[in-house]
Structure 1
Amino acid sequence: MEGEQSLRRFSPEVMVQDPNIRNAVALLPPIILFHGTGDYSIPSDASKSFADTLQRVGVKGESILYEGKTHTDLFLQDPMRGGKDEMFEDLVSIIHAGDSEALGKDSVAAPRKRMVPEFMLKLARRVSPF
């Protein structure tokens, strides 16, 4: 992202602290950050810090961390495995919060099917630069 000198321009954490856009920041919806603790391209502490900053400026923000998951495990490898997917379940429970009918249907839904063999997912994890 053009190096350290462009941090103010690209960092959402820096942007939300800008007093010149306080009115716009006040309009932000609740924000949930999903992050793996095994992410070596962006440390999970960055999401925790951003969530704390959001709360400090009056935005409802939180971070949900997934132990040992990398940058791409959460949205690529895990969904392709099929079966139980922790982040997917968290997302659905957030979307369906307060809707007991939808939550009931979710609890009896068939497990998702595997999309690719495990060896391919392990290979993808090893060669991913993220």
Structure 2
Amino acid sequence: MSVEGAVAYDVLSPLAAARALAKDDPGVARFCPPALLLHGTADKSVPAAGSVLMHEALAKLGVPSSYRLFEGKTHTDFLLEDAFRGGKDQLTDSILQLVTGAPQEGRHACMCPRLLVWLASRVCPF
């Protein structure tokens, strides 16, 4: 990550921020809501290991945190491809399960021909 060509990982990274808080203000957890981290294992933009590390950093702070890795999902599957393709909505189901405490199984209609969704997923850089 960079800002104006200079490496700025510590400024832009949520993981770096959580780790810094653990050092600077260990009592900050009382101000933080529970965190749910959802990540696809095929994400080319942000490695799925980042969510695991973030979960560990939040746990070290004392912030209630959970994570779920979705096998084969990319950075855009949940919000783009899956939404257009239709069918099971894993993203919404996971969020609603956290909120309600009960398993969820939502489905939505196909918004675009599957062939177009497949083609778009092949050229998507994320």
TM-score, normalised by the number of residues in structure 2: 0.83
Measured after TM superposition, the shift of residue 54 of structure 1 is 0.6
Question: What residue number does 1:89 align with?
Answer: 93
Equivalent residue for 1:13, pick from 12, 15, 18: 15
Q: Summarize the Cα distance change of 1:10–1:22 in structure 2 as closer, same or farther, 3 Å threshold.
A: farther
- Match of 2:115, SS state, is helix
Deviation digits for residues 85-127 of structure 1, max 9, x if unmatched? 22222222222226xxxx7xx66x7x42111110111112111
- Listed as ranges, the gaps of 5+ residues in structure 1 are none
Measured after TM superposition, the shift of residue 17 of structure 1 is 2.2
Flag as ranges the 4+ runs of structure 1 deviating above 6 A.
none
Q: Count the aligned residue pairs.
A: 122
Q: Specify the code of the residue in structure 2 equivalent to 1:16.
A: A
- Match of 2:66, SS state, is strand
Measured after TM superposition, the shift of residue 21 of structure 1 is 4.5
Q: Is the 8 A contact 1:40 1:71 kept in 2?
A: yes
Distance (whole Å) between structure 2 residues aligned to residue 4 and residue 89 of structure 1:
39
Q: Specify the code of the residue in structure 2 equivalent to 1:116.
A: C
Equivalent residue for 1:122, pick from 113, 118, 125: 118
